[in-house]
Structure 1
Amino acid sequence: MKFNPALAALSLGSFTIGLTEFAPMGLLPVLARDLQVPIPAAGLVVTAYAFGVMIFAPIVTLAGGRLARNRLLILLALILAAGNLLAAAAPGYALLLCARVLTALCQGSFFGVGALVAAALVTPGRQAGAVAAVFMGLTVANIAGVPAMTALGEAAGWRIPFLLLAGLGLVTPLALLRVLPHLPAPAGSNVRAKLRVLLRRPVLGALGLTVLTSTGQFTVFTYVAPMLQHGLGASTGFVTLALIVVGLGMAAGNHLGGIAADRSLRGTLIVTLMALILLLGGLSACLAVPGAVLGLLFVWGGLCFALVPTMQMRVMAAAAEAPSLASSVNIGAFNLGNGLGAVVGAAVLNAGGSYPAIPLASAVVFAVPLAIVLLKGRRGRAAVQA
């Protein structure tokens, strides 16, 4: 795909949002020490953001339905900057949670509208690739940004990374203003009609799969830093290296997942879920072997992000009459899974489970959407034969 400035600007926005979402995962030990809370409580910083995205995604998308798409995206980027600035200045745990909820206002609508805009900017047959290009900012955030934020947080405290995020949040709207074309709001803004589309069984089913796959991913990702520190005895340097490896895997998986999804959404989903279940069993067994852990985390990151364009395109296809709302709600579904994954991991630890049990719990979660997809395919074949 040729370089597209508009896609690049959208990817910059996703990079900033990706850092906002994922950086606290690498900062959990620092946050826990400084705020004097246990690791599971610090994990609620991730959960508060995730649930905020889930709640606000449809509300903000509907409220901004009459705004030009480019203006809405710029406004959302400014809200992101304000929330990160408040997080950096938060005097305690409670206000930090509130700041995370504020930043969550922007993500669902930004990715939802941004994915729709990206798909409209390219020719048919390349739409999943365009969506993947937007989400590439997330993978770049994980390759370079999150490890850098983790190291910076260890060296200078967790507030400095949030200040940098606020600064990036101001660069993003400037880039969008410069290169994004004027995109008027779509005609026909009947809220009831859009909500009816959202409540259709195929749309709800696609959203449910997004929740389940995201829950499986974030059961591990939320606790990757303490999992490596306690399960492997890893140093801060090793954790930073591991996060870089995960990010590299995510970049490869996001790109290849977009290509595969343009060929077969269902096939990509089935193969990826099967591979994840097998890999997570291996990760649990090899958590004490540094080299094996790095290799498995690379593949794990790739498989997880191969699902991102796949799930986004499934929802957009199922809700063709209201793609903007459905796309935004799918981001909310992704973040509901993000929060639920943090809850699942915390439940494993609070029940007395060891860190190697976390990948096994994730594998069990991934088995649920795999079973659903396979069962649905079997029923479809039976209906055709009948």
Structure 2
Amino acid sequence: MAFCVAMLIASEFMPVSLLTPIANDLHATQGMAGQAISISGLFAVLASLFIAPISGRFDRRHVLMSMTVLLLVSLVLIALAPNFTMLMVARAFLGVAVGGFWSLSTATVLRLVPEDQVPKALGMIFMGNAIATAFAAPVGAYLGGVLGWRVVFGGLVPLVLINLIWQAKSLPSMPPRATIPMSRLFGLLKRRNVAIGMAAVMLTFAGAFSAFTYFRPFLESETGVNADMLSVLLLSLGLAGFVGTHFASTMLHRNHLYSLLRWLPLALAAVTLGLMELGHVFWGAAVMMFSWGALNAAIPVCWSTWLAREIQDEPESGGGLMVASIQLAIMFGGAFGGQLLDQITVAAPLAGGAGLLVLSALLIGNGARLRAPAQG
């Protein structure tokens, strides 16, 4: 499952490092190419909302393998896409796979391992995410420059095929159980702290992805990087994620959750603006990219902790709602940044993203709005 997560995340965000060649080859603007991130986000939202009620009728093993097959089909279609329309269709398939697999992953782990092994098992799942985040973009940028962007996506096909065979051999049968109705998931939004939390989640992730999706055109235009230099910068951003994750875990252990939720988006906004200011020189871009990667990686850890703390009575519904909110934010962020890029300048997506991050911090405030009311 961790291997599949790594493939899903690598496939979802690979266009970030290949935006320019994809746009050139398919005769699209870079802003249009960035919508490949948005379309997968849209379908991931739909999948995360509907997968639990639908999958409850089938063996969980077969459902997870179906999501992997969708991933495989999407990669083949992307590698062979003759035009922009086919690329978007393929990315829609990918979105369903991402939303469906992620939404079911935690509940599946709970069925696969003993209770005392759940934290370790979930850690393995998120390690697949961290590894893909660290290496997919730089490796994609380098190989895309050498072999072409189609080869990069095609190269993932045999890896996903191996993973599918591995799943068939290793995943046990998991017969269907009682499903969670949609009303319970959306009913959580009637809780004021949950509604505000999800709004803050969306602003935070939309701000981050408005900037992140369009780092390549900015770095090519303002910093003057080639494919090799871009790979180095993206690798530093990815590796910084391990630093940020460790930092967040340490601070959360000291009970600084609400301070982190407030100040991390502000710090990320400041670094994003710093990249705009210092990005004309390579060393400045490198420092800002490393800092950006560390701060950005710390944010999901904090929101996952908030989810576990404030929605203890409905963890599965809360998890589905969180996945949907994040993917909707990714879709909006990619679309928002793409419009700014096409209509204004290559730096506009960074400025727009920083603005959304600031709004998120203002909404969170001192954290009181995110706390469930005390039970009398």
- With the shorter chain as reference, the TM-score category is 0.7 to 0.9
Give the counterpart of 2:289 among 287, 297, 301.
Answer: 297
Instruction: Give deviations 1:204-246, integer Å, cap 9, x for gaps.
Output: 3332222111111111210111110001111111111111111
Residue matched to 1:278: 270
Aligned residues: 372
323 and 360 in structure 1: CA distance in 2 versus 1, 3 angstrom threshold = same
| Of 9, 15, 33, the match for 1:24 | 15
Structure 1 residues 7-22: aligned runs within 5 Å? 10-22=1-13
Which residue of 1 is the match for residue 198 of structure 2? 207
1:339 is matched with which residue? Answer: 331
Q: Distance in 1 between matches of 2:176 and 2:298?
A: 30
Write out aligned runs for 1:174-213 (5 A): 174-180=165-171, 183-187=174-178, 189-197=180-188, 199-213=190-204
How far is the alpha carbon of 1:165 from its aligned partner? 2.5
**Partners of 1:61 and 1:379 in 2: how far apart?**
26
- Structure 1: gaps spanning 5 or more residues: 1-9
Distance 1:181 1:207, change over 3 A: farther
Distance apart, 1:126 and its partner CA: 8.3
Q: Identify the match of residue 236 of structure 2 among 222, 236, 245.
A: 245
Residue 312 to residue 71, structure 1, CA distance change in 2 (3 Å): farther
1:163 is matched with 154
Distance 2:63 2:195 in 1: 26
- Pairwise CA distance, 1:123: 6.2
The answer to whether the Cα contact below 8 Å between 2:36 and 2:88 also exists between their aligned partners in 1 is yes
Kindly tell me: are residues 37 and 176 of structure 1, through their superposed partners in 2, closer, same or farther at Cα, counting changes over 3 Å? Answer: same
For residues 23 and 370 of structure 2, what CA distance do their matches in structure 1 show?
Answer: 48
Shift of residue 198, structure 1, vs aligned partner:
5.2
Q: Which segment drifts farther, 162-171 or 15-24?
A: 162-171
Shift of 1:302: 1.5
- Report the counterpart of residue 280 of structure 2 in structure 1: 288
Q: Out of 212, 222, 238, which is 1:221 matched to?
A: 212
**Residue correspondence of structure 1 range 59-78 to structure 2 within 5 A:** 59-78=50-69
Within a 5 Å distance, the mapping from 1:288-327 to structure 2 comes to: 288-327=280-319
Unpaired runs of 5+ in structure 2? Answer: none
| Residues 209/115 of structure 1: CA separation in 2 closer, same or farther (3 Å cut) | farther
Post-superposition offset of 1:102: 0.9
Instruction: Rate the CA distance shift 1:125–1:318 in 2: closer, same or farther, 3 A.
Output: farther
Judge conservation of contact 1:119–1:131 (CA < 8 Å) in 2.
no
Q: Which amino acid aligns with 1:271?
A: W
The residue aligned with 2:104 is: 113
Instruction: Name the CA distance, whole Å, in 1 between partners of 2:105 and 2:370.
Output: 35
Q: What is the aligned partner in structure 2 of residue 154 from structure 1?
A: 145
Q: Is the 8 A contact 2:258 2:367 kept in 1?
A: no
Q: 1:215 to 1:378 in 2, by over 3 A?
A: closer
Partner residue in 2 for 1:370: 361
1:145 matches 2:104: no
- 1:48-86 Cα offsets, whole Å, 9 max, x none, are 111121222212232112434444322212211112112
- CA distance in 2 between counterparts of 1:182 and 1:379 reads 39
- Structure 1 range deviating more: 169-178 or 50-59: 169-178
CA distance in 2, matches of 1:216, 1:82: 30
Determine the structure 2 residue equivalent to 1:7: none
Fraction of identical pairs, as percent? 22
Q: How far is 1:132 from its partner?
A: 5.2
Letter in 1 for 2:299: L
Return closer, same or farther for 1:379/1:250 CA change in 2, 3 Å cut-off: closer
Q: Deviations over 1:118-161 (max 9, x none)?
A: 5785868985x864542332221232222222222223322222
CA contact (8 A) 1:48 1:97 kept: yes
C-alpha distance in 2, partners of 1:378/1:63?
33
- Aligned pair in 2 of structure 1 residues 305, 176: CA closer, same or farther (>3 Å)? farther
Instruction: Check whether the contact 2:46–2:99 (CA below 8 A) recurs between aligned residues.
Output: no
Q: TM-score, normalised by structure 1?
A: 0.85
Shift of 1:181: 5.4
Q: What is the one-letter code of the residue matched to 1:58?
A: L
- Of 258, 280, 302 in structure 2, the residue corresponding to residue 266 of structure 1 is 258
Distance in structure 1 (CA, Å) of the matches to 2:194 and 2:124: 24
**Which SS does the other structure have where 1:43 is aligned?**
helix
User: Any conservation in 1 of the 2:259–2:366 contact (CA below 8 Å)?
Assistant: no
> In structure 2, do the counterparts of structure 1 residues 325 and 175 end up closer, same or farther at CA, with 3 Å as the change threshold?
farther
CA RMSD of aligned residues (A): 2.9
- 1:237 maps to a residue whose letter is D
SS at match of 2:365: helix
Work out the CA distance in 2 between the residues paired with 1:16 and 1:317. Answer: 29
What is the aligned partner in structure 2 of residue 352 from structure 1? 344
